[in-house]
Amino acid sequence: MSVSGGTTTAMHLGPVLDQAAVVLATTVDAPRQARAFVRETLARWDWSSTEPAVLMVSEAVAETVLTADSARLVLTVHLHADRSIEVHVHDDDPTPATASPRHSDYTRRVLDDVADDWGVVRTEDDAGKIVWLRLAEPRRAELR
């Protein structure tokens, strides 16, 4: 993925009702740990149909593990007042991922398909970056 994926302006379309965060070492186990954390968090918020959210988070965390020069990442899930979620994957490498174009291309296709919107921004102190992903609650989106 690169900074041109999705829009580059962060974040939060509305008030944040609740949030949960976990710090993960950037190992091959991080995507599984991230999925478990997201399933648990969304279950606590009584979110319907968690698998699209789980897929986009696994995808973004795997990409961070493979491309970021960072020993750890911080995964934060925010619940907005409209029950949409915004996920942040924060690492300590300010360089946007550009290597391994084929893999990044598949990641981009999955995120384009699953997330309502997503992008990458540098942190304000320039010491890292945040991949952010937005998703409405599936069942409510269908009822709209």
Partner 1 sequence: VESLRIERAHQRVWLHGELDLAAFDDVLHTLAELDGQTILLDLAGVTFIDSTGLRTLMAARRDHAQLSVVNPSGVVVRLLDMTGTSELVLGEPKTNGAT
Out of 5, 6, 24, 35, name the contact with partner 1 by CB under 8 A. Answer: 35
Decide if residue 6 touches partner 1 (CB under 8 A).
no
What mask, x for binding partner 1 by CB under 8 A, covers residues 98 to 137? -----x--xx-xx--xx-----------------------
Dist. CA 11–CA 121, nearest whole Å: 10
CA distance 81 to 74: 23
Can residue 91 be called a binding residue for partner 1 (CB under 8 A)?
no
- Residue 49-88 contact track with partner 1, rule CB under 8 A, x = bound: --x--xx--xx--x--xx----------------------
Does 22 bind partner 1 (CB under 8 A)? Our answer is: no
Task: Provide the minimum distance between the beta carbon of 141 and partner 1 in the complex, in angstroms, as a whole number.
Answer: 17
How far apart CA 105 and CA 110 sit, in angstroms, is 9
Kindly provide the residue ranges of all beta strands, DSSP E only, lying in the chain, ordered along the sequence: 16-25, 72-80, 85-91, 117-122, 129-135
Q: Report how far residue 34's alpha carbon sits from residue 73's, in angstroms, rounded to the nearest whole number.
A: 10
* CA pair distance 76, 30, nearest whole angstrom: 14
Query: With binding defined as CB under 8 A, does residue 38 bind partner 1?
Result: no
DSSP 40-67: HHHHHTT-S--HHHHHHHHHHHHHHHHH
- Determine the interface stretch with partner 1 among 3-11, 25-33, 75-83, 125-133 (rule: CB under 8 A): 25-33
Q: Which residues bind partner 1 (CB under 8 A)?
A: 28-32, 35, 51, 54-55, 58-59, 62, 65-66, 103, 106-107, 109-110, 113-114
